[in-house]
Structure 1
């Protein structure tokens, strides 16, 4: 059995005396026998001003940065997008070092 839950992770940040949370979920292609991640992330962000926001981040072509996917209806400031992009890279490095 495939355990997809190990790929989902949470990050926390203090902002203006509040804690901001984001859960990052790698998108999975379930049409294959083994789950295969697509490289895109669903982000569930508890935004300090707008409340719960959901959006997709995808790796920008020619860059290592994850940016708001054009299919996402959410309007989330670049500051939060960059924070989530850095969290994805940090999580990936931690995963690599634990192998």
Structure 2
């Protein structure tokens, strides 16, 4: 069985003197005996002004960019969204997800 906790990681982002923290969680399907990882990620962003901002992110292969899930109501700045995508790509390489 895959250890789901191995795929979770945290990064920090500095913008205009503000330090933001984000944790990245791969979405998994729990209906099988082993975890099946989807292409969506749950990002939990801790922003010093806006508080906790959880949102789902996925890569749009057609547009070659990271986007929030269509059903997500959070409005995340594109610069932070693309930064999140880069962190996911690095995290996947480190954790082999």
Common fold, TM-score beyond 0.5? yes
Aligned-partner Cα distance in 2 for 1:22–1:38: 19
Query: Secondary structure, in 3 states, of the residue corresponding to 1:91?
Result: helix
Which one is further off, 19-28 or 55-64? 55-64
2:45 alignment counterpart: 45
Give the TM-score normalised by structure 1.
0.85
Aligned to 1:79: 79
Which residue is 1:6 aligned to?
Answer: 6
How high is the TM-score relative to the length of structure 2? 0.86
Corresponding position of 1:36: 36
Distance 1:64 1:88 in 2: 14
Root-mean-square deviation (Å): 1.7
Greater relative CO (CA pairs within 8 A, separation 6+): 2
User: Which ranges of structure 2 fall in alignment gaps of 5 or more residues?
Assistant: none
State the alpha-carbon separation in 2 of the partners of residues 93 and 26 from structure 1.
Answer: 13
Please list every run of 5 or more consecutive structure 1 residues that lacks an aligned counterpart in the other structure: none
Partner of 2:61: 61
Secondary structure, aligned partner of 1:33: coil
Deviation at residue 64 of structure 1 after TM alignment: 4.5
- Could you say what secondary structure the match of 1:82 adopts? helix
| Cα offset, 1:90, TM superposition | 1.4
